[in-house]
Structure 1
Amino acid sequence: MSAASIVLAINLCVGAIFVSAFGFIAVYRRSAVGARWQALAYSMTFVIGLLEYSMPYQTNAQAAAYGSFAAFLTAMLLSNIGLARHYEVRVPWLSLGLLFALALGINLFTLGMPRDSLARGLIYQAPYALMHVIGIQIILANRSRRMLDLTLVSLFALSALTFLGKPFLALAIGSGGSVQGYLSSNYAAISQASGGVLIIANGLLILLIMTRDVIADMTTLSETDPLSGLLNRRGFDEQAERARLMAQRAGMPAVAITADIDHFKQINDTYGHDRGDQVIAMFGELLKESFDQRAVVARMGGEEFAVLLPGAGLTVARGAAEAARLRLRDLPKEIRGTDKRITCSFGIAVLDEGESLSNLLRRADMALYDAKAKGRDRVSIAPAPSLDSNTPQGAASAEKLSSAPHAEPVRTRLSG
């Protein structure tokens, strides 16, 4: 068995591994459509292997050689479609279709050309290189590119250059003189080896990218409240803690805000749980729109919500909370779906130096309880943790922090 045949056998095994790996992702995660296309792409290695192994035993192997070319080009076409599906960008059907059709048509006319001809080699290899260029364009069309994605771009560029360099290598050392002699040539061994390395490298990177994104999607799903579309308690605890640490390390302020829909049980009892669910979803969307992109916004359970706003002080947080409160209260009847106005209450606490997230939220909750006790539909501000709100000094400090209308200081912690 020639060296090229051994390398070809290894490539077939590698192809089978990738078919299994991408197939597993496609089955495990139904939404991973790109993985299905990649599994189809790597399944073409079996067709290529069968055709190339049959060449030495055929009197006229030009048909098998052309079939191998078409199968490899098909694999690249399927892989590019898979990349576009995965990155959720538009599939370049026109450029892919034109390249595929032109390459198949033009290469029919090269079958009678000498195998060591540079012109034939460039016509044969150029479509492979151009398929990689289209792949690069697909990856770059995705705006949320990360290190692995950019590494794949570099690898695709290297692959394109490798294919364009093969005709010059064939011209320098010879490619076997005939289709039957191809597998026994040194060129075939080098071509199959370099191609195998690139297939493995490209496949591994695409597999890593898809695995990374599937894990990220599953993490997002496990940390998302399905009703409001906001983070759930688990997601909030993790992301808010990360934001708190970053703010403290950078010496930036941070504010915690807790919110509660007033008389929510009455809404459920009067209008039903479906209407209650709509109110929760509506309030969640309103909260998300009221704070900037830095904010970590979550539904903590029931009608309770929480926000951590890093890099912002009390003035910004109170303004956003007041805006959200007024927007909910002033919703027209046809949007809110209830006869009476829907109102909400807010509690705000400013992060103190070295304070934990749990204590910060506890103080925001105390402020929220105070807002409820004072008639609801208002924003209440918690005093600094170093001050006792039951002392004259603490009460004075709280009053100073909450000088705006509807912003009430906390003096006692109430239940309910």
Structure 2
Amino acid sequence: MAALFVVTYGVIALYYARQRATAWFMVSYLLGFLTPICHLLILYTDQVALFSLLGYGVFLGGIVMMAVGIQAFVGRRPQWRLALLLWAAGIGLRLVIWDGARNTLPYELLFQLPFAVAAIAVMLVARQIGQAGPIRAMLVGIFGVIAAHFLLKPFLVVSLGSGPTPKSYLGSVYAVVSQISTGVLLVAAGLCLLLLVIQKALEETILDAETDPLTGLTNRRGLYRVGPRLLVEATLRGEGLHALFLDLDHFKAINDRHGHATGDSVLVAFARVLQDLVATDMLAVRMGGEEFAVLIPHDTTGMRAARLADAIRDALKPFAEKGLPALTVSGGIVRYRASETLDGLIAHADQLAYRAKRAGRDRILQEPLDRSSERSDIGWAEGPRLVAG
């Protein structure tokens, strides 16, 4: 089983650039794989002391490496000094009790203590995993059980006995119970870690598929996955939601006059403006070409949308100072109505943006709260600020 985990984590680390941290899980189970090898060498060689200490060290190192791997997996810098200190302290304690009386509670407790402490360290580090959910909870729980398992082993060995020497231990009933129980728990931990790795890989794949490669904004695919949820939440909570549609003015002329590379730079710079100004609960989308949209929840009156639109227009003024062509934007702000589809909402905002272009561009029109009103082009005329209707 350890070998299978080594191969699986190794393949993931090799072929998925964003999953390089799984190489530490590979190392962890590789060290665990060496433990039974050391046990076999105890049986079939005369170097009993050497392979007893080596088996103890690689098994402890495998658990410690698990904590290092999880820290790397969550994007944190591994605490190598603490990991090395924990491992060295465990080896030192093993050497201190080397000639102690086997099958006694003090000796066995001290023997198992480093493994229990290392498992607790993994449990604490696993709580830092940002992917909340049952998988993380299971991982934390499993390492809690592993820690308790190591602390219960001394009582079991005193009851069953493990023999007077390392070779006799390997032929004892206690060894069978100990190795099987530990193995089952570490297999469960490996499966949970594998599920976390797969979950993260899927999330990153979805994110890549839903991200516009040029601007880094959400694309249409992401809009149609997240947008309906925002509409449902707005309906259930009775909170308003507005859509802001934005169309860059004279963008074709920018491409024709300055070249497509400059046009791309303008799109990237405009996307950066949106990223800087859009709140975390909003959704900014590149619809395609020079068209963008923002879904703005928790906005009953449209003031959030109006302030955002105002800030976007102000942020475009320094473009010329940055060596970019002067840029203005036309747009429309509409409020979501219950039972309206996402396509209908976006299309309605797009129509209002089209009217803004026909009215002379460089303006954002806002639909009144009462759609039955004839005054449907409240917005900016020539000035930069929203005019209250």
Question: Fold conserved (TM > 0.5)?
Answer: yes
Contact 1:41 1:78 in 2 (8 A): yes
What's the counterpart of residue 365 of structure 1?
350
Residue 35 of structure 2 is aligned to residue 56 of structure 1: no
Residue 199 (structure 1) shift: 0.7
CA distance change for structure 1 residues 381 and 348 in 2, over 3 Å: closer, same or farther? Answer: same
Matched with 1:327 is 315
Cα distance, 1:214 vs structure 2: 0.8
| Secondary structure in 1 matching 2:138 | helix
In the alignment, the residues of structure 1 paired with residue 236 and residue 106 of structure 2 have an alpha-carbon distance, to the nearest angstrom, of 62
Structure 1 position 395 matched with structure 2 position 374: yes
Matches within 5 A, 1:172-211: 172-211=159-198
Q: CA deviation at 1:332?
A: 5.3
- Unpaired runs of 5+ residues, structure 2, are none
Q: Determine helix, strand or coil for the equivalent of 1:395.
A: coil
- Of 33, 44, 47, which residue of structure 1 is paired with 2:20? 33
1:312 aligns with 2:317: no
1:302 and 2:252 aligned: no
> 8 Å contact 2:116–2:146 — kept in the other structure?
yes
| Contact 2:319–2:327 (CA under 8 A) maintained in structure 1 | no
Distance 1:38 1:256 in 2: 45
2:115 maps to a residue whose letter is: Y
Alignment of 1:23-102 (within 5 A): 23-59=10-46, 61-102=48-89
Q: 2:7 aligns with which of 20, 23, 27?
A: 20
Decide which of 337, 342, 346 is 2:327's aligned counterpart: 342
Distance in 1 (CA, whole Å) between partners of 2:49 and 2:107 is 14
The two structures, once aligned, show a CA RMSD in angstroms of 2.3
Unaligned runs of 5+ in 1: 1-13, 388-393, 410-416
1:239 equivalent among 222, 226, 240: 226
Displacement of 1:119 after TM fit? Answer: 2.9
Quote the Cα distance in structure 1 between the aligned partners of 2:33 and 2:8: 16
Q: Secondary structure at the match of 1:214?
A: helix
Write the letter of the residue equivalent to 1:381: Q
Tell whether the 8 Å contact from 1:132 to 1:157 is kept in structure 2 after alignment. Answer: yes
Aligned-pair CA distance for 1:249: 2.6
Q: Note if contact 1:37-1:78 (Cα within 8 Å) is conserved in structure 2.
A: yes
- TM-score normalized by structure 1? 0.86
For 1:214-233, what aligned pairs fall within 5 Å after superposition? 214-233=201-220
TM-superposition CA deviations, 1:72-94 (whole Å, max 9, x none):
11212322221111111121111
Q: Distance between the aligned counterparts of 1:147 and 1:280, measured in 2?
A: 40
Q: 8 Å contact 2:363–2:380 — kept in the other structure?
A: no
Q: What SS does structure 2 have at the residue aligned with 1:228?
A: coil
Return the match for 2:252 from 265, 289, 303.
Answer: 265
- Give the structure 2 partner of residue 5 of structure 1: none
Query: How many percent identity over aligned positions?
Result: 32
1:291 aligns with 2:278: yes
CA spacing shift, 1:23–1:385, aligned 2, 3 Å: farther
Per-residue CA shift, 1:111-147, capped at 9, x if unaligned? 3222213333223212112212222332234455433
Contact 2:123–2:140 (Cα < 8 Å) also in 1:
yes
Q: Deviations over 1:310-338 (max 9, x none)?
A: 2213222122112211221x215332x13
**Cα deviation code 1:97-120 (max 9, x no counterpart):** 111122223312333222213333
CA distance in 1: counterparts of 2:112 and 2:281, whole angstroms: 49
Which whole-Å deviations, capped at 9, do the CAs of 1:3-39 have from their partners, x for residues lacking one? xxxxxxxxxxx11221232223223312212211111
How do residues 115-126 of structure 1 correspond to structure 2 at under 5 angstroms? 115-126=102-113
1:280 corresponds to 2:259: no
Alignment-mate amino acid for residue 379 of structure 1: I
Please identify, of 138-147 and 113-122, the stretch whose mean Cα deviation from structure 2 is larger: 138-147
Matched AA of 1:291: V
Question: Partner of 1:224: helix, strand, or coil?
Answer: coil
Please show how residues 2-13 of structure 1 align to structure 2 within 5 Å. none
Contact 1:290 1:321 in 2 (8 A): no
2:171 counterpart SS class: coil
Report if the CA contact (8 A) 1:290-1:324 is conserved.
yes
SS at match of 2:332: strand
Q: Is this contact kept in 1: 2:52–2:166, CA < 8 A?
A: yes
**Structure 1 residue 407 displacement after superposition:** 5.5
Secondary structure at 1:31 match in 2: helix
Partner amino acid for 2:355? D
**Residue type at the aligned position of 1:77:** V
